[in-house]
Structures are given as structure tokens and as C-alpha cells.
């Protein structure tokens, strides 16, 4: 007989940050951020154009918001 007990993820399964996250405004996706490891976090527009590489996820997501609102922001 096979063991059919549910697999419950451990807390350690969630220690690593997600490699890619969508930045949304309500239901609309306005961009993406991709964790590039030691390089930083790269921000992209919704149509997959790179905005730049930033020190952290918050800065990259802010760049997506500013780009979507027409306020261009340079990479750090």
C-alpha cells in the first residue's frame, strides 16, 4: 500500500526569496522584478523591457510603479 499522506512544506522551504515577482496595481500587472542574486534585483516593465538593476526588491518595485506612472527612474 502507498503512503498517501499530504506533503506539508516545512518552514525551511520558504527561506529563499522568490526568483520573480509581479508588480501589480489592482488586477493590472505593471511590471516584474527578478532576483539576480549578488547582482541585485532587476526591474522590468509589463512588456518585458528592462528598467534597471536595483539593490533590493522594494527599490525595483518602486521603479516599476514610477515607470508605469510616467516618472522615469534610473538604475542604481
Query: Average pLDDT for residues 3-13, to the nearest whole number?
Result: 54
pLDDT at 75 over 60: no
> 25 in the Ramachandran plot: left (φ > 0), alpha (ψ -120 to 50) or beta?
beta
pLDDT at 26 over 70: yes
Domain of 49?
Answer: 18-68
Is 40 a member of any domain?
yes
The predicted model scores a pTM of: 0.70
Is 30 a member of any domain?
yes
Long-range Cβ contacts of 69-72 (<8 Å, 24+ apart): none
Q: How many domains does the chain have?
A: 1
Is 6 a member of any domain?
no
Is 11 a member of any domain?
no
Query: Average pLDDT for residues 19-46, to the nearest whole number?
Result: 93
Q: Where are the alpha helices (DSSP H) in 1-76?
A: 57-68
Is 53 a member of any domain?
yes
Amino acid at each position: 500500500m502507498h503512503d498517501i499522506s499530504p506533503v506539508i512544506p516545512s518552514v525551511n522551504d520558504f527561506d529563499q526569496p522568490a526568483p520573480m515577482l509581479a508588480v501589480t496595481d489592482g488586477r493590472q500587472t505593471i511590471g516584474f522584478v527578478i532576483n539576480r542574486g549578488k547582482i541585485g534585483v532587476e526591474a522590468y516593465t509589463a512588456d518585458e523591457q528592462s528598467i534597471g538593476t536595483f539593490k533590493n526588491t522594494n527599490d525595483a518595485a518602486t521603479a516599476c510603479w514610477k515607470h508605469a506612472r510616467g516618472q522615469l527612474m534610473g538604475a542604481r
